[in-house]
Structure 1
Amino acid sequence: MTTPANRPIRVGVQIQPQHADYATIRRAASEAEDLGVDIAFNWDHFYPLYGEPEGKHYECWTMLGAWAESTSRVEIGALVTCNSYRNPELLADMARTVDNISDGRLILGIGSGWFEKDYTEYGYEFGTAGGRLNDLGDALPRIEARLGKLNPQPVRKIPVLIGGGGEKKTLRLVAKHADIWHGFGDPEVVERKVRILDQHCADVGRDPAEIERSVAVESEPSELGPQLLERGVSLFTVGVTGPDYDFSLLRQWVEWRDKTNG
Structure 2
Amino acid sequence: MSDDEMIPRADVEQWWGTSITRISPGEIDLRGYPVQDLIGGASFAEVVWLLLRGELPERRQAALLEAALVASVDHGPQAPSIAAARMAVTCGLGLNNAVATGANLLGDVHGGAGQQCMDLLARIRERWRAGEDLDEVAADTVAEYRRRRQHVPGFGHRFHPRDPRRDPLLGLVADAAGEGVVAGEYLRAAQALEQALAAGRERPVPMNIDGATAVVYSELGFAPELGRGLFVLSRSVGILAHAWEERGSGARIKGPIPRRLLAAYTGPQQRRLPAR
Q: TM-score range by the shorter chain?
A: under 0.3
> Which has more helix, going by share of residues?
2
TM-score, structure 1 normalization:
0.28
> Which has more strand, going by share of residues?
1
